[in-house]
Amino acid sequence: MKSVLSKFDVNADHFTNEKAKIAYVYNLTKGKAQGYLEPRYKTLDGVNEFRTADEMIRHLSTIFVDLFKVRNAKLKYRSTESSIKTRQLFSKFYNEFLQLISDACIPEEDYRDDLVDKITLSLQKALMAHKTEFTTYQSLTEYLIGLNQRQRHLREKENLFSNRRRATATVSTAAPTPVASTSAVTGGTLVRSSA
């Protein structure tokens, strides 16, 4: 609903009175949201009618907005659920991490250490082997994105090499095909022939 309030500010000349704002908010809603506004929108007797658009927005917020959003986000942030999954792309994880730190109101000075704690062990080991200390959080994330890409490419190459080696080993260990032979005695000498 922040966009609605911004619209009221930017286009103040279009919303010259509160009735125009109320009508605008009502017309933006559909389905359940409009159903929740209906009993208090333009009542016949004017009793308990919405007096301001802000009142309508607050009413919808009590129904649709998670009142415990920050608390729930903090619980998720602290859990292992917020850590990167083994085969997950770092960039996908990082977008989720950014959303979670925003929702949980995590202080910026915690981003770097928390990010390192939540990445895979292979990324942590590679990061420890890296000699440069990252001076900014941004440089750390850029390095981790590139590192994750390189690790994924190496894994793909290893899998390809491993599959080829297995396929070659399967072919070379296959039992030789028996060759049919016949024996005959010709003039007292045993003669063998292969078919």
Question: What integer pLDDT is reported at residue 165 of this predicted model?
Answer: 82
Question: What integer pLDDT is reported at residue 101 of this predicted model?
Answer: 93
Question: What integer pLDDT is reported at residue 114 of this predicted model?
Answer: 92
Question: What integer pLDDT is reported at residue 185 of this predicted model?
Answer: 55
Q: Which two tokens stand for residue 151?
A: 């690790």
Question: What integer pLDDT is reported at residue 99 of this predicted model?
Answer: 92
Contacting residues for 42 by C-beta, under 8 A, at least 6 apart: 49
Provide the residue-wise pLDDT of the chain in tens; the chain has 195 residues. Answer: 667 777 887 878 888 889 888 888 898 889 998 998 988 888 778 788 889 888 988 888 888 877 788 888 899 888 888 888 878 889 899 999 999 999 999 999 899 889 999 998 888 998 888 867 788 888 899 999 999 999 999 989 988 888 888 877 776 665 555 555 555 555 555 555 555
Question: What integer pLDDT is reported at residue 122 of this predicted model?
Answer: 87
Contacting residues for 2 by C-beta, under 8 A, at least 6 apart: none
Question: What integer pLDDT is reported at residue 11 of this predicted model?
Answer: 78
Question: What integer pLDDT is reported at residue 191 of this predicted model?
Answer: 56
Question: For residues 32 and 164, what is the distance between their CA atoms, to the nearest angstrom?
Answer: 57
Question: What integer pLDDT is reported at residue 95 of this predicted model?
Answer: 93
Residue boundaries of the structural domains of the chain: 2-64, 69-161
Question: What integer pLDDT is reported at residue 128 of this predicted model?
Answer: 87
Region of residue 48 (left: phi > 0; alpha: psi -120 to 50; beta: else): left
Q: 123-155 burial, b for 16+ CB within 10 Å, e for fewer?
A: beebeeeeeeebeeeeebbebbeebbeeeeeee
